[in-house]
Amino acid sequence: MIEIILFGLTSFGVGLSGAIVPGPMLTVTISDSVKKGPIVGPQVVLGHIMTEIMMMIVILAGLGWIIGSKTAALIIGIGGGAVLIYMGYNISVSSNKLYNTSNSTNTSEKSGIQHGSIFNGIITSLSNPYFFIWWASVGCAFMYKGLELAGIVGLLGFIIGHWSADLSWYSMISFFSSHGSKIMNDRTYKIMMKACGIFLVILGIYFVISVLNII
C-alpha cells in the first residue's frame, strides 16, 4: 500500500513538472480564463484527460510504437503546428470585451463557451507533438510500472497522481487569470490576448520547423 501511495506521489511530481512548462494548453487556459472565468481550468483539463484516455488505450493495445514513429511525428508536427498557428491568429485578432464584465451574454452563449474550453483542451493536446512523445516514453513507462507494481490498482495510482497534477496546476492558473481580469481594462486585455496569440503562432511554427528538420 505504501508503495502505491509513493508511486502516486511520484506520478504527481512528474505530471506537475510537465504541466508547468509553458505550452499551448497553458496559453489557451490563460486566454480563456480571462474571458470566461475560473471554471476554464478544470474544463481544459477535462478535454486533456479525454485525449490521455485515448493514448492509454492505444498503449495498452500494444500500439505505443505508432505514436513514437517518424511518420506520426511528421503528421502531428505539421498538422498540430498549423492548428496552433490558426488558434493563435484567432486569439490575437480577437477584440471581444472581457467576458466577466459583460452583462449581455445569454445562456446559450455560456453553454457554447463551456464546451469550447473542453474542446480547446482536446485540440491543444492533440496539436502538441511533445504530448505524444511524452506518452510514447515517460507515460508508457509509468503505465507499465504501475501495472507491474500492483496491477490495475498501480495503474490507477499513476492516473490519479498524474491527473491531480494537471487539475491542481491549471485550476490555479485559471483562478488567478480570471481574477486578474476584474481589474483589467480593455486595452490591457487586448495586449494580453495578442501576446497569447503570438506565442501560439510562434510555437506552431517551431513545431513545424522541428519536425521538418528530422526528415
CB neighbours of residue 167 within 10 Å: 19
**What's the CA dihedral at 144, 54, 108, 26 to 10 degrees?**
60
Of 94 and 14, more confident:
14
Q: What mean pLDDT is predicted for residues 3-20?
A: 90
Looking at residue 97, the DSSP 8-state letter turns out to be P
Say if residue 40's pLDDT is above 60: yes
pLDDT of residue 191: 79
- Work out the angle at residue 20's Cα, subtended by the Cα atoms of residues 214 and 90, and round it to the nearest 5 degrees: 70
Say if residue 123's pLDDT is above 50: yes
pLDDT of residue 47: 96
The pTM (predicted TM-score) of the whole model is: 0.83
The grid cell for 45 is: 483539463
Q: What mean pLDDT is predicted for residues 139-146?
A: 91
pLDDT of residue 129: 87
Q: Angle formed by the axes of helices 140-150 and 2-19, to 10°? A: 170
SS3 129: helix
What pLDDT digit, counting tens, does each position of 63-117 carry? 877 777 778 878 888 888 898 898 888 887 765 544 444 444 443 444 444 458 9
Sign of dihedral through CA atoms 11, 77, 201, 115?
Answer: negative
CB neighbours of residue 4 within 10 Å: 18
pLDDT of residue 181: 64
Radius of gyration of the chain (CA): 18
pLDDT of residue 153: 94
Looking at residue 101, the DSSP 8-state letter turns out to be G
pLDDT of residue 106: 41
pLDDT of residue 55: 93
Report how many helices (DSSP H) and strands (DSSP E) the chain contains, helices first: 10, 0
End-to-end CA distance of the chain: 46
Sign of dihedral through CA atoms 58, 86, 115, 183?
Answer: positive
Q: What mean pLDDT is predicted for residues 35-51?
A: 94
pLDDT of residue 90: 83
Residues contacting 204, CB < 8 A, separation 6+: 80, 81, 82, 83, 84, 85, 86, 87, 88, 127
Q: What mean pLDDT is predicted for residues 190-209?
A: 85
